[in-house]
Amino acid sequence: MARDDVERLLIAGGEDKHIRAKYDAPATMDEFVEMAAVDGYMFTPEELDAVLKESGDVFEKNGNPPKRSIWWA
């Protein structure tokens, strides 16, 4: 299920700094989703956005260097 894949990726990124760094690189949500599909996570930008909104997370990058604050620990 797509929601499960979103959650699995967010948890994986929370546990592994290399995954966080890899997925902090894409500029757009579409690029993020395409990269995730290559790694076996199957979801749409709309499904990712819905999970992020439910958890109160925002996809945009913050800080210097820019990073996403979407990762679950």
**pLDDT, tens only, 33-66:** 999 999 999 999 999 999 999 999 999 999 999 9
56 and 13 in contact (C-beta within 8 Å)? no
In the structure encoding, which two tokens stand for residue 41, read together? 């996570």
Torsion sign, CA atoms 65, 8, 39, 42: negative
What is the band of 21 on the pLDDT scale with cuts at 50, 70, 90?
very high
What single-letter amino acid sits at 69? S
Which residues, in sequence order, are bridge partners of residue 62?
Answer: 67
Please say if the pLDDT value at position 16 is more than 90.
yes
Mean pLDDT to the nearest integer, 17-25: 97
Note the pLDDT of residue 6.
98
Global pTM reads 0.94
